[in-house]
Amino acid sequence: MAKYLLAFPSGIALVCLISGLLPVQALTNADLADKNSEINQTSSNHQQSELLISDNANTPDLSSVAQPEQNAVLATDSDANSSQPSKELAQVTSVSQLSDVQPNDWAFQALQSLVERYGCIAGYPNSTYRGNRAMTRYEFAAGLNACLERINELIATATTDLVKKEDLATLQKLQEQFAAELATLRGRVDALEARTSELEANQFSTTTKLNGEAIIAGVGATGGAPGGSDSNIILVNRVRLNLTTSFTGKDLLITGLQAYNFLGGTTGEGSLQRSLGLASPVLSASSARTSFEPQFPGLNVSNLSSVGANSVQLYKLLYITPISNKFTVFAGTAAETSDAFPAITPFYGEGQESISRFANLNPVLRVSGGTSGTGLASAAGFIFNISPNLDFRALYGSVNANLPQKSPDEAIPGSGVSTTPLGAGVFSGSSVIAAQLTFKPFRDLDVGLNYAHSYHEINILGTGLISSDIGALAGVSVGTPVTLNSVGGTVTWRFSPKIALSGYGAAIFVDASSNSIDASTTFTSWMVGLHFNDLFKTGNAAGIIFGQPLYRSDASGSAVLTPAGDNRATPYHLEAYYRLKVSDNISITPGAFVLFNPEGNSNNDTTTVGVLRTTFTF
């Protein structure tokens, strides 16, 4: 008997073992739902728009610890390591560690023997055993298999006086009775091992994964400035390939490549916004812009050089690594504010959700080219997970960090704007310091508070949201440097499992940063909308959005409130879209948005922009 190692107080004790062990080996659908709920509740504290894949482009996004698709890396990986409960069931060494097991339970002695003598059973991460839950025969087989493996280990060590003969006879009978289930289980394991070996032999890299997104869309519009004509329907595309590399299993290097066929350049020539007459004189900023369109299409704004249609660009290069369980740092030469900051609003997702630039994100995140769509800035920052319901993030970004000197040549004679309009150097050119406090006061409520301080070499906001984005201080030269202080907040309340109410508010305070000029202007914006999940069919989504695009609410000094020739009026934006999930990798989104008093000028006709967007993810 000395060579046998597994004993139970009685034959039925083994049945108790298996029935109790089952939760450790396999979970029913109901328990899986419970467990997923626990995990989701924790991870959603940092959720909303994915680590560093900004936009839903399947790029790991810092911004979303669990975001649908792509824009958001830091949050996803680092938060997962620090705040999500373990999905593994923990081995216990004493039955007293299981909070829901009492000495007067009928199977207490059997459970105590299994735990303390044989180490053949585990508990849930929350120190419970759940001995009364039902199990399937497959689960029973899995539990029995675990104990048989433990028996073999004990026999191999030749430990003495642990097993009784009758116990081994009981085990033998159980093994014979469940021979079919055990064979099925072993077959499934063998099949998984074979598939794993095949994947390893054919994988792209041992450290790098490739994913991507391709957007093809038809866009048409009516309305615009007086005297204009409706634009033709255009067909546009944007393709992104993202390489995510981990060297330690916890860090992440994101390399993103993209190509698009939007046109614009320095004057906006060829853009839909210019054809409507609603674009700024340079750089084509406009409220009629779609969500997946870059801020400066067809142009490298760092040096005003042109970018050809479907030219391949590096739009993301960012490295993220955790320093501790609660502290993560990131840095890169091609990054955006939205990479690190959770979007909060469910409308975020350039390829999957809102079809307009206005509805995607709070304007404060877009200030200073924070969401240029081309990785405009070099940036470095951190994420501090203060608690499961609270985190703080901050970054510093510089646009032309790779340029040693500002160009002395003027892009437009007499304008004061050089051919490197955003300056040069890490600390001497256009830059932004941004921060976001994200918290979850209740399970179904997410709140994000934002602040950004920016310096621009020229008179711009850098959001790409309205035509007044260029020449933010109206009546002041475009070559005048400005300082921006921006504040905003975003709230999402999921008042039912499939419906969420979301909105934001923002204010941008612009001041001339020149001793020779005294001028200031305030811009405000707000948005509110309803988001629907699984509408009519699982996987489909829809949104209805209404709000006010950025609008000058105040001006003083040399700045004027209403540009010459405009008839001042409050602008409004109304949008609706429906995303149809064709398959796991294909979605089609028809939608439209209507602009009332476009660009804050009642002289402009009410403008409607229709979009039919098809998104492929892989």
Q: Are residues 262 and 179 in the same domain?
A: no
Q: Are residues 282 and 405 in the same domain?
A: yes
- Structural domain includes residue 75: no
Q: Are residues 110 and 158 in the same domain?
A: yes
Q: Are residues 351 and 264 in the same domain?
A: yes
CA distance 44 to 531: 17
pLDDT at residue 455 tops 90: yes
CA distance 77 to 405: 37
CATH of the domain at 482: 2.40.160.10
DSSP 350-416: TTTS-SBHHHHS-HHHHGGGTT-SS--EEEEEEEEEEETTEEEEEEEEETTTT-SS---SBSSTTS-
- Structural domain includes residue 238: yes
Residue 448: which domain range? 217-617
Q: Are residues 445 and 356 in the same domain?
A: yes
Which of 199, 228, 250 is the last residue in one of the domains? 199
Q: What are 527-548's pLDDT values in tens digits?
A: 999 999 999 999 999 999 999 9
- The answer for residues whose C-beta is within 8 angstroms of residue 617's C-beta and 6 or more apart is 58, 69, 70, 211, 212, 213, 351, 585, 586
pLDDT at residue 429 tops 90: no
Q: Are residues 449 and 594 in the same domain?
A: yes
Q: Are residues 426 and 278 in the same domain?
A: yes
Who has greater pLDDT, 344 or 57? 344
Which of 166, 199, 232 is the last residue in one of the domains? 199
Using alpha carbons only, give the angle 328, 334, 615 rounded to the nearest 5 degrees: 95
Beta pairing class for 299-300 and 305-306: antiparallel
- Structural domain includes residue 45: no
pLDDT of amino acid 415: 66
Q: What are 382-415's pLDDT values in tens digits?
A: 999 999 999 999 999 998 888 888 887 777 666 6
Which of 172, 199, 226 is the last residue in one of the domains? 199
pLDDT of amino acid 198: 78
Alpha carbon dihedral 300, 303, 308, 310, in 10-degree steps, equals -30
Distance (Å) of CA 184 to CA 174, 187, 605: 16, 5, 69
Q: Determine the average pLDDT of the residues in 129-143.
A: 76
Beta pairing class for 572-583 and 305-306: unpaired
Q: Are residues 169 and 227 in the same domain?
A: no
Q: Record the tokens describing residue 354, joined without a space.
A: 């809102």
| Helix residue ranges, H only, 120-254 | 137-156, 165-177, 179-202
Confidence class for position 125, pLDDT limits 50, 70, 90: confident
Q: For the chain, what is the domain count?
A: 2
CA distance 542 to 530: 8
Q: Are residues 319 and 467 in the same domain?
A: yes
Burial of 320 (0-12, 13-18, 19+ CB in 10 A): buried
Q: Which of 26-40, 161-175, 397-411, 590-604: highest mean pLDDT?
A: 590-604
Confidence class for position 162, pLDDT limits 50, 70, 90: low
CA distance 348 to 343: 7
Confidence class for position 243, pLDDT limits 50, 70, 90: very high
CA distance 197 to 535: 40
- Structural domain includes residue 380: yes
Q: Are residues 195 and 271 in the same domain?
A: no
pLDDT at residue 269 tops 90: no
- Structural domain includes residue 34: no
Asked if 355 and 396 touch (Cβ cutoff 8 Å), the reply is no
- Structural domain includes residue 467: yes
Q: Are residues 186 and 231 in the same domain?
A: no
Asked if 432 and 368 touch (Cβ cutoff 8 Å), the reply is yes
- Structural domain includes residue 227: yes
- Structural domain includes residue 42: no
- The answer for residues whose C-beta is within 8 angstroms of residue 137's C-beta and 6 or more apart is 178, 181
Q: Are residues 188 and 241 in the same domain?
A: no
CA distance 579 to 614: 9
pLDDT at residue 521 tops 90: yes
For residue 119, the cross-strand partners are none
pLDDT of amino acid 34: 44
CB atoms within 10 A of CB 157: 9
Q: Determine the average pLDDT of the residues in 142-153.
A: 76
Distance (Å) of CA 374 to CA 196, 400, 580, 616: 37, 13, 28, 20
Count, residues in the chain: 618
Q: Record the tokens describing residue 29, joined without a space.
A: 């659908």
Q: What's the whole-number average pLDDT of the chain?
A: 82
Q: Record the tokens describing residue 103, joined without a space.
A: 């000495």
Q: What are 362-387's pLDDT values in tens digits?
A: 999 999 988 999 888 899 999 999 99
> What share of the chain in percent tops pLDDT 90?
49
CA distance 152 to 147: 9
CB atoms within 10 A of CB 39: 16
